[in-house]
């Protein structure tokens, strides 16, 4: 083992993470650098692996549900939605209209909250301190709504198979309306700070460019895919859970760079608000839970229930062997697959861009490692 001399030290290998302020959890990226230019990047993941899929096989269908809150803990509501939709399909349970509407409302609230957290950390990584706290201000309002309805802020255990746990508490609708009335002005405020900011544009335009074709090849989904101009939004492409009855636009980017992905998420927040507005306007009365057998025992079969989570296509592939325990629940983790493209995206960029690109992929390590 001879120490490399300074003259040999052309490549510098550094560990970004697992303890690093900008890797959003315990992501570890082994970077090979030439000066500050990235030659190669290798992601080391699994630090948070808890074996959620294995646990699922040892729990009843109902008891699995809380575990999925802990995969993508930023978007716990979406996680719950994907799973309950799958099980309801297998069981052929009819969900009452009110529950369907509330589900969509809460999922969209969750999407906004998740995008807010993304914007906050992404901006912080690029050095915009203030946006961080502005976003948390709004996110707090959403978390309060969650707390009111679900009794928890983060790991919400939001939905139950067949419907909801509880009806909307009194005052909820007014609070929700108040939020969506104020929200557009808030988004404008963030955009004012960033969208036309010379530094922000310099830092994000042309960074991590990926073409639509390549994005599909890499299996990207969600904003990273739409940023490259592929209009693939499961709410539109394969509507689920009643989304086909709502009006909203699917924004797509042109250049597939970090800036476009930023713009798309900003627009998605506005669109989510639009959906929430519609849910509030049409919120029907009636029961919140369909007829659900006491013991959930789907017939032998399998179902892939994909939904558009805030980070991309979140899928639950549920295989039933007819017993009360799932034979297999496979979670198709959007960020796991999106993160795979990191290596491709960062090559040739600078260390500072790695941060911007990790931010733009919006990774949540709880979901990647499961």
Partner 1 sequence: MMETLLIYAVIPLIKIAVVVLAVLLAVAYLTWLERKLLGRIQVRLGPMRVGWHGLLQPIAVGLKFVIKEDIIPARADRLVFSLAPMVSFIPALVVFSVIPFGPPDMLSGLLRWVLPLFLDPASVNRVIESGVTTGGYVANVNIAILLVFSVSSVGILGIILGGWASNSKYPLLGALRSSAQMVSYEVSLGFTILSVLLVAQTLSLVDIVQKQQAAGVWYVFVQPVAFVLFFICGLAETNRLPFDLPEAESELVGGYHTEYSGFRFAIYFLAEYAGMITISSIAVTLFWGGWLRPFPNVAWLGFLDLVPSVVWFMAKVFVFLYIFIWVRGTLPRFRFDQLMQYGWKIFLPLAIANLVVTAAVMLKFS
Partner 2 sequence: MSEENKPPGAAPEDQPEQKKSGAPAAPAGGGEAKAAQPKPPAAKKPPAKKLPSYEELTDDPLLKDLRGRFPNGIVSGQSFLGQPIYTTALELLGDVMLYLRGSEWAFDYLVDLTCLDYLGDPKRLCMVYHLYSHKSGRLIRIKARAAADEMVPSMSTIWRTADWLEREAFDMYGVEFSGHPDLRRILLPEDWVGYPLRKDYDIKLQDQAWIRKHLRIRKVPE
The nearest distance, CB 354 to partner 1, in angstroms, is 8
* Interaction partner, residue 322 (partner 2, partner 1, none; CB < 5-8 Å by kind): partner 2
Nearer to partner 1, 22 or 364 (CB): 22
Q: How far is the CB of 93 from partner 1 (least distance, A)?
A: 44
- Give 96 or 146: the residue with its C-beta nearer to partner 2: 96
d(CA 162, CA 364): 28
- Contact of residue 150 among partner 1, partner 2, none (CB under 5-8 Å per partner type): none
38, 32 Cβ separation under 8 angstroms:
yes
Using CB under 8 A, list all residues that contact partner 2. Answer: 45-46, 49, 51, 53-55, 57-58, 89-92, 216-219, 230, 232, 237-238, 291, 293, 295, 297-304, 306, 313, 315, 317, 319, 321-322, 327-328, 330, 332, 336-337, 340, 369-370
Q: Shortest gap between Cβ of 42 and partner 2 (angstroms)?
A: 9
Residue 140 Cβ, how far from partner 2 at the closest point, in Å?
33
Report CA-CA distances (Å) from 16 to 13, 19, 29, 204. Answer: 10, 8, 5, 20
- The listed partner (partner 2, partner 1, none) that binds 22, CB under 5 to 8 Å by sort, is partner 1
Q: How far is the CB of 344 from partner 2 (least distance, A)?
A: 8
Q: Which is nearer to partner 2, 55 or 152 (CB)?
A: 55
Q: Smallest distance from the beta carbon of 53 to partner 2, in angstroms?
A: 6
Nearer to partner 1, 47 or 132 (CB): 132
Residues 58 and 67: beta-carbon distance below 8 Å? no
Binding site for partner 1 (CB under 8 A): 12, 14, 20-22, 36, 123-130, 132-134, 137, 193-194, 197, 199-200, 202-203, 350-355
* Residue 238 binding target from partner 1, partner 2, none, CB below 5 to 8 Å by type: partner 2
Indicate which of partner 1, partner 2, none lies near residue 306 (CB less than 5 to 8 Å, by partner kind).
partner 2
- Nearest approach, Cβ of residue 60 and partner 2 (Å): 14
Which C-beta is closer to partner 1: that of 60 or that of 197?
Answer: 197
Residue 203 vs 311, nearer CB to partner 1 = 203
The Cα 102–Cα 163 span in angstroms is: 9
Q: Which residue has the tokens 């992601």?
A: 43
Q: How far is the CB of 112 from partner 1 (least distance, A)?
A: 18
Choose between 123 and 341: whose C-beta lies nearer to partner 2.
341
């Amino acid at each position: 083992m001879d120490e490399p001399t300074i003259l040999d030290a052309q490549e510098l290998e550094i560990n970004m993470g697992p303890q690093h302020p900008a890797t959003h959890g315990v992501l570890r990226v082994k970077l090979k650098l030439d000066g500050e230019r990235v030659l190669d990047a290798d992601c080391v993941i699994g630090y948070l692996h808890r074996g959620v899929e294995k646990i699922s096989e040892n729990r009843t269908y109902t008891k699995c549900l809380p575990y999925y809150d802990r995969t993508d803990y930023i978007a716990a509501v979406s996680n719950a939605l994907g799973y309950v939709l799958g099980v309801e399909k297998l069981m052929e349970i009819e969900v009452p209209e009110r529950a369907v509407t509330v589900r969509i409302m809460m999922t969209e609230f969750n999407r906004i909250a998740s995008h807010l957290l993304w914007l906050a950390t992404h901006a912080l990584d690029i050095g915009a301190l203030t946006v961080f706290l502005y976003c948390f201000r709004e996110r707090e309002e959403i978390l309060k709504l969650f707390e009111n309805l679900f009794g928890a802020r983060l790991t919400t255990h939001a939905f139950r198979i067949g419907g909801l746990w509880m009806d909307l508490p009194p005052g909820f609708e007014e609070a929700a309306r108040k939020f969506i009335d104020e929200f557009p002005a808030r988004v404008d405020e963030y955009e004012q700070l960033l969208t036309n900011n010379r530094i922000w544009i310099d830092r994000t335009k042309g960074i991590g460019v990926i073409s639509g074709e390549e994005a599909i090849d890499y299996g990207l989904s969600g904003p990273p895919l739409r940023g490259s101009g592929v209009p693939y939004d499961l709410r539109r492409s394969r509507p689920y859970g009643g989304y086909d009855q709502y009006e909203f636009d699917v924004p797509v980017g042109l250049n597939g760079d970090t800036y476009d992905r930023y713009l798309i998420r900003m627009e998605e927040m506005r669109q989510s608000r639009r959906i929430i507005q519609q849910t509030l306007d049409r919120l029907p009365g009636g029961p919140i839970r369909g007829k659900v057998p006491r013991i959930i025992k789907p017939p032998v079969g399998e179902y892939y229930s994909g939904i558009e989570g805030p980070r991309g296509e979140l899928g639950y592939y549920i295989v039933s062997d007819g017993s009360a325990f799932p034979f297999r629940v496979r979670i198709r983790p959007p960020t796991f697959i999106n993160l795979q493209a990191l290596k491709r995206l960062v090559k040739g960029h600078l260390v500072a861009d790695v941060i911007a690109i990790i931010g733009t992929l919006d990774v949540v390590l709880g979901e990647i490692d499961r």
